[in-house]
Chain A
Amino acid sequence: MAKLKVAGYWASSCGGCEIATLEIGANIVKLAELADIVFWPCIVDGKYKDVEAMTDGEIDLCLFNGAIQNEENEHQAKVLRAKSKVMVAYGSCSYEGCIPGLANVANQEQIFDRVFVSCPSVDNPDKVIPQTSYQAPEGELTLPKIYDTVRPLAAVIDVDYFVPGCPPTGEQTWAVLEAVVTGNLPAKGSIVGAGTRALCDECKRNKEEKKVKKFYRTHQIMPDPDRCLLEQGLLCAGLATREGCGALCPAAGMPCTGCYGPPDGVVDQGAKFMSAVASIVDSNDPAEIAVILDDIKDPIGTFYRYSLPSSILRRVQIK
């Protein structure tokens, strides 16, 4: 059997997903036996020109991490889609937009204004803003255009599989690679490298009754080390998050913030998280309900920490 051709790539990403692929550790050697890594800047030499010169579908598998925030990201995604038989959105950024996708609370103009003009350390009396094309004395300099809205990979190309996590764990990554390399693939569009149920199912904390009179922020209480955090009033996303990480954050005494995305059957992670939180409010009095819920001052940052660009509303409205 001919060896498979595997590629990896990152778009608008923090690099954590690349580091995470290294977490497959010694399995890199095994991977090398099963497949030729034709292009994976983080592991082997990148030969960009060679990729562009490939025929369509020549790459068997591409792991793509990072979201689409500028025109180059989009261009790269399209080229790699054409060259790859199987395209995987690897990691929360390409799967659902992730934390960098919180940029969708603003637009490009507002971001540029903050970063280049109104930050307190900026000294920019002429309000110079970086330009996509600038005539330097020696010649033209270009920069890619940055978009107003961050989008997940599937919003610009057809994606075959999704690997959740910010970043995905090394074990899960290896499981995905193995499945693809051995041709053991699930149905197109599946989420791979994680379970199907909610994180609470793999969380070791004791679950009793969920009835809450007051919600707390993480700095306000020292939670009981063994009991479910949500029951203690901390906004843990476990009910609205896919299992797969091993419930790392609750094990470390911190609520899950939802980086594995929604479990099977949930369309909008934020709406699900929000519903779960609202339904444990221990009151039937509208006035009291309002007071209890008014303590949640940042619904977007809480419920949509990782999924704003792939949520139903996708972004904040700007007039």
Chain B
Amino acid sequence: MSSADFQPKIVGFLCNWCSYAGADLAGTSRTKYEPSIRIIRVMCSGRVDPTFVLEAFNRGADGVCVIGCHFGDCHYLEGNYKAARRMELLKNMLKQFGIEEGRFRFDMASASEGDRFAQIVNEMTEEVKKLGPYVKYEGAIS
């Protein structure tokens, strides 16, 4: 597949209060962004277990992003700090698993930042396009 035809599948875990609202805003205000993202709404970025991210890759995502509120804005006060710690370690770990850095991103967007949301999606899509599809390797097992 040439990179031009490749439409990446990006799974985005968005927190209900800020980033999902931001995505909504991007939609209602007709901000243009790549149709690559599949949004999964979670109550808070602190609710995103690393298992979700791993499972997304396992089920065929070419990239995964987790987007929460800005620090200080989390509806549950500490949730996004928690996420920041987990996602940092997860990022290091994915690298060791041979999953390129560009395929995973933890970021923040507020309810009023529809543009920022669109920008995150566009940037990621472009990077993942460069990387190509995520093809699971298993090698010979029979």
Report A-B touching, CB under 8 Å. Answer: yes
- The CA of A267 and the CA of B55, in the complex, are separated in Å by 11
Stretch at the interface among B1-9, B16-24, B118-126, B132-140: B132-140
Contact B141 A274 (CB under 8 A): no
A275–chain B nearest beta-carbon distance, Å: 6
Known: A281-B85, A289-B85, A316-B98. A275 touches B50 (CB 8 A): yes
A96 at interface (Cβ–Cβ under 8 A)? no
- Chain A 180-223 near chain B by CB (<8 Å), digits 1 or 0: 00000000000000000000000000000000000000000000
Contact A275 B49 (CB under 8 A): yes
A residues near B96, Cβ cutoff 8 Å: 298-300, 316
Contact B138 A274 (CB under 8 A): no
A272–chain B nearest beta-carbon distance, Å: 8
Q: What residue in chain B is nearest A281 (Cβ atoms)?
A: B85
- Chain B 35-59 near chain A by CB (<8 Å), digits 1 or 0: 0000000000000011100110110
Chain B interface residue count, CB cutoff 8 Å, equals 29
- Chain A 302-319 near chain B by CB (<8 Å), digits 1 or 0: 010000000111111111
B90–chain A nearest beta-carbon distance, Å: 7
A271 at interface (Cβ–Cβ under 8 A)? yes
B residues near A290, Cβ cutoff 8 Å: 88
Contact B97 A300 (CB under 8 A): yes
B86 at interface (Cβ–Cβ under 8 A)? yes
- The CA of A286 and the CA of B88, in the complex, are separated in Å by 9
- The CA of A209 and the CA of B6, in the complex, are separated in Å by 49
A62–chain B nearest beta-carbon distance, Å: 22
A residues near B76, Cβ cutoff 8 Å: none
Contact of B54 among A151, A300, A312 (CB under 8 A): A312
Contact of B137 among A272, A296, A303, A315 (CB under 8 A): A315
A residues near B49, Cβ cutoff 8 Å: 271, 275
Contact A318 B141 (CB under 8 A): no
Known: A281-B85, A299-B92. A149 touches B138 (CB 8 A): yes
Contact of B141 among A149, A272, A279 (CB under 8 A): A149
Contact B89 A296 (CB under 8 A): yes
Contact A271 B71 (CB under 8 A): no
- Chain B 83-113 near chain A by CB (<8 Å), digits 1 or 0: 0111011101100111100000000000000
B33 at interface (Cβ–Cβ under 8 A)? no
Contact B86 A318 (CB under 8 A): no
A243 at interface (Cβ–Cβ under 8 A)? no
- The CA of A149 and the CA of B81, in the complex, are separated in Å by 37
Contact of B50 among A108, A147, A271, A283 (CB under 8 A): A271
Contact A317 B97 (CB under 8 A): yes
B61–chain A nearest beta-carbon distance, Å: 12
A82–chain B nearest beta-carbon distance, Å: 18
- The CA of A293 and the CA of B84, in the complex, are separated in Å by 11
B residues near A271, Cβ cutoff 8 Å: 49-51, 54
- The CA of A290 and the CA of B89, in the complex, are separated in Å by 8
Give residues of chain A (71-102) contacting chain B, Cβ–Cβ below 8 Å. 71, 74
Q: What residue in chain B is nearest A286 (Cβ atoms)?
A: B84
Contact A317 B99 (CB under 8 A): yes
B residues near A299, Cβ cutoff 8 Å: 89, 92-93, 96
Q: What residue in chain A is nearest B80 (Cβ atoms)?
A: A284
Known: A108-B139, A108-B140, A147-B139. A296 touches B58 (CB 8 A): no
B82 at interface (Cβ–Cβ under 8 A)? yes
Contact B51 A318 (CB under 8 A): no
Q: What residue in chain B is nearest A266 (Cβ atoms)?
A: B51
A60 at interface (Cβ–Cβ under 8 A)? no
B112–chain A nearest beta-carbon distance, Å: 22
Q: Sort A-B residue pairs by CB-CB distance and give the 6 closest, nearest first.
A: A148-B139, A317-B98, A299-B93, A312-B54, A278-B85, A278-B86
Q: Can you list 17 A-B pairs, Cβ within 8 angstroms, ordered by A?
A: A108-B140, A268-B54, A271-B54, A272-B51, A278-B89, A279-B82, A279-B86, A281-B85, A284-B81, A290-B88, A296-B89, A300-B97, A303-B93, A313-B57, A315-B137, A317-B97, A317-B98
Residues on B lying within 8 angstroms of A by beta carbon are 49-51, 54-55, 57-58, 71, 81-82, 84-86, 88-90, 92-93, 96-99, 136-142
